[in-house]
Amino acid sequence: MRTILNLSDLREIDIELKNIFLDPNNPRFSIETEVKIPDKKIMEKAVQEKCLTRMKNYGIDALRESIRRVGFMPIDKVVVRPLPNGKFVVVEGNRRIAALKILQREIDNSEIQLNEKIKETILKFNVFEYRGTEKDIAWIIQGIRHISGIRNWPSYQQAEVLVKLSQEKKIGVREASNIVGIGPIIAGRLVRALNGFKQAKKDDEYGQYIKPSHFSYFAEAIFVKPILYEWLSWSEKSKKFENIKNLKKLLSWIIPKDGKDARIGRAMYLRDTLSVAISRHPDLMKRFENEETMTMGKLNFEMGKRTPTEVDEWLHKISEFNTDLEELPSIKISKKRASFQKALKETVKIVKKHLEILKHL
């Protein structure tokens, strides 16, 4: 496996809090904005105030309170990289630095009083300084840490770091997935979802209305159910949906308009209801397309009135099982390796038995 992070590029230094600046290009913010702030603007007061305000949405109150009570203990070190004039920007640890900045402000404004020992841990501490040349070092370090467990990233950021690692280091998605601890099947799905989401954002009619919350439709529905990405004519070659007509239909259903709720208000409705209509009830799907008053609830009700044959039910169960089995995270189930090996071998045995019977029917 290629070396992604060279540890010799990190060195320990003592640093004063006043010389550390929050990162406005923090990967946490990536889904909210695509405009990158250049290094020369990072230290601007307005930029830093906006960063601090945004960081308050990422659960720093408890962190601030803990530091206020016992001091800042940099056991798990903050990582920074140099800016001009002896200043630094955070690479990893924006939540901790934001909490420290708030405490520093409260101290300066005489809003709180801390004993000198605790105050010393807040105003100056030990960090790792990154001296390498990786332009996406924040994505690489945070991706490795947060995807695999310390504070899990949302699926959009997971997809972004996989793409950045793959492109920057010229490695495949599978290798990138191994680095950050995601199974290759899930990683492939996330990357496809990111490409599909970005295509939707470029749509001339609906793109301006696509919000970060819409990413779940792609990651948790479209690329979970093959029938959905087939309906949209997903192309592995172009990394795009080629059935633009159906894509526009879908976007019109997931985006609220005229003050009304979206017809498909949640990704699970797309995954569990519309996918069934497309695959098993084409007449009802046609009605849903043509009748704007037909809600997800009504579509589900109409499908429920139809009793599927026993054969259809078994086919559906097998299809659902196969989808779930594809998502089986090998890394996580390794703790019960023997039990899963036994169960999967039994599954293989049963499948082989049925295939042999079908061969002679």
pLDDT tens-digit map of 255-290: 998 888 899 999 999 999 999 999 989 999 999 999
Residues forming a β-bridge with 81? 89
Other beta carbons within 10 Å of 109: 8
- The rounded mean pLDDT for the chain is 84
What element of type H or E holds 53? Answer: helix 45-55
Band (pLDDT 50/70/90 cuts) for residue 198 is very high
Q: Are 177 and 184 in contact (CB under 8 A)?
A: yes
3-state secondary structure (DSSP) of residue 73: coil
3-state secondary structure (DSSP) of residue 82: strand
CA dist., res. 177 & res. 157, Å (int): 13
Report whether pLDDT(228) > 90: yes
Query: What pLDDT does residue 270 have?
Result: 96
Query: What pLDDT does residue 142 have?
Result: 66
Q: Are 144 and 138 in contact (CB under 8 A)?
A: no
Query: What pLDDT does residue 34 have?
Result: 62
CA dist., res. 120 & res. 118, Å (int): 5
Other beta carbons within 10 Å of 352: 10
Residue that is written with structure tokens 């530091």 in the block: 67
Report whether pLDDT(151) > 50: no
- Work out the angle between the directed axes of helices 155-168 and 173-180 (0-180°, nearest 10): 120
Secondary structure tally for the chain: helices H, strands E: 19, 7
Other beta carbons within 10 Å of 343: 11
Tally the residues of the chain: 361
Out of 67-81, 114-128, 242-256, which region has the weakest mean confidence (pLDDT)? Answer: 67-81
Report whether pLDDT(3) > 80: no
What element of type H or E holds 80? Answer: strand 79-82
Band (pLDDT 50/70/90 cuts) for residue 31 is low
CA dist., res. 273 & res. 65, Å (int): 45
What element of type H or E holds 300? Answer: helix 296-304
Average the pLDDT over 172-178 and give the result.
73
What element of type H or E holds 142? Answer: helix 137-147
Query: What pLDDT does residue 214 have?
Result: 93
CA dist., res. 179 & res. 262, Å (int): 38
Average the pLDDT over 176-198 and give the result.
82
Other beta carbons within 10 Å of 224: 21
What element of type H or E holds 177? Answer: helix 173-180
Q: Are 63 and 95 in contact (CB under 8 A)?
A: yes
